[in-house]
């Protein structure tokens, strides 16, 4: 769907199905934001992946990372992360730690 800032369309939320590739299982689905001024949104990916792995919490419409309130609503959280790239790095590190833990348990 369209991502708007006021009345202006600033990007799209897209769903893709990966049919074939050489590095991962086929037929996986992905969903992400393509912003017209930046490409694939790193901030949006950080919010989504953080929520998926329980690193970022969503209470009602409020999105938080630990004690840090990222914003009310996804777009506010993305804006906060764009303005604070160090928080994106903290979220990404925490997500990778969680992924490593899960992979270790699978072995």
- Listed by start position, the domains of the chain span 1-40, 41-107
Q: What is the pLDDT along the chain (107 residues), one digit of tens a residue?
A: 899 888 999 999 999 998 988 888 889 998 999 999 889 999 999 999 999 999 999 999 999 999 999 999 999 999 999 999 999 999 999 999 999 998 888 87
Measuring CA to CA, which residue among 93, 46, 54, 94 is closest to residue 70? 46
Where are the extended beta strands (E) located within the chain?
2-5, 8-18, 28-35, 39-40, 56-59, 62-65, 68-72
| CB of 98 closer than 8 Å to CB of 106 | no
Does the predicted TM-score (pTM) go above 0.85?
Answer: no
Contacts of 75 (CB under 8 A, 6+ apart): 3, 5
Quick one: 41-107 is in which CATH superfamily?
Answer: RecA protein, C-terminal domain (3.30.250.10)
| CB of 55 closer than 8 Å to CB of 94 | yes
């Amino acid at each position: 769907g369209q991502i708007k800032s006021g009345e202006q369309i600033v990007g799209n939320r897209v769903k893709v199905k990966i049919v074939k590739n050489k590095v991962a299982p086929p037929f996986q689905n992905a969903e992400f934001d393509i912003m017209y001024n930046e490409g694939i949104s790193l901030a949006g990916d950080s919010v989504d992946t953080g929520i998926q792995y329980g690193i970022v919490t969503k209470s009602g419409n409020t999105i938080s990372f630990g004690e840090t309130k990222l914003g009310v609503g996804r777009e506010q959280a993305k804006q906060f992360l764009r303005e604070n790239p160090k928080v994106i790095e903290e979220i990404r590190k925490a997500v990778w730690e969680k992924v490593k833990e899960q992979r270790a348990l699978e072995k």
